[in-house]
Amino acid sequence: MKKWKLFVGVLLVFVAGVLIGSLGSGFYHQYLFDRFRKNPAQRKAFVLRQFSERLDLTENQQKAFKAAIDQMDQQRWAQVMKNRSEQKKINDDGYARMKTVLNPDQQNAFDELLKDIRQRRKFRSVPDHPEKKKRDRR
C-alpha cells in the first residue's frame, strides 16, 4: 500500500512540474515575443548583439551587420504587409460569397458577426511597424 502512495506522490510531483514548467516557459516566450513585436529596434539590437558576441565582430563588421539586419527587417515587413492585403482580399471575397446565400435577417447578423471577428483580429494582430510610423511623421 505504501508503494502505491509513493508512486502516486511522485507522479503528481512530476505532472505538477511539467505543468508549471510549460506555463512558465509559455509566459516567458510570450513576454519576449511581445517585447520584440512592439519594439523592432530592440529586436534588431538584440540580434546584432548576439552576432557580435558570438562572432567577435569588429566595429566595421557590426556596422555592416546592422545595415543588413535593417534591410532584412524592411523586406520582411514589406512581405508581411503584402500578405496582409492579399489575405484581406481573400477574406472579403469569401465573405461576399457567403453573404449571397443568406436572407436579409441573416445578412444583418452576418455583418455583426464579421464586425466582432474584425474587432478580435484588431486586438490580436501585429501592430503597424514602428519604423514606418517614424517615416510617416517626417
Q: Residue 73: CA atoms inside 13 Å, Cβ hemisphere, count?
A: 21
Q: What is the rounded distance in angstroms from the CA atom of residue 108 to the CA atom of residue 70?
A: 46
Domain boundaries, the chain: 63-137
pTM for the predicted model, two decimal places = 0.51
pLDDT at 120: 83
Contacts of residue 92, Cβ cutoff 8 Å, sequence gap at least 6: none
Q: What is the pLDDT along the chain (138 residues), one digit of tens a residue?
A: 688 888 888 889 998 898 888 888 877 777 766 666 677 788 888 889 989 999 998 999 999 999 999 999 889 888 988 888 888 899 899 999 999 999 999 999 999 998 988 888 776 555 555 555 554 554
Using CA atoms, how far residue 84 sits from 35, 37, 56, in Å, is: 22, 16, 38
Most distant CA pair in the chain, distance:
76
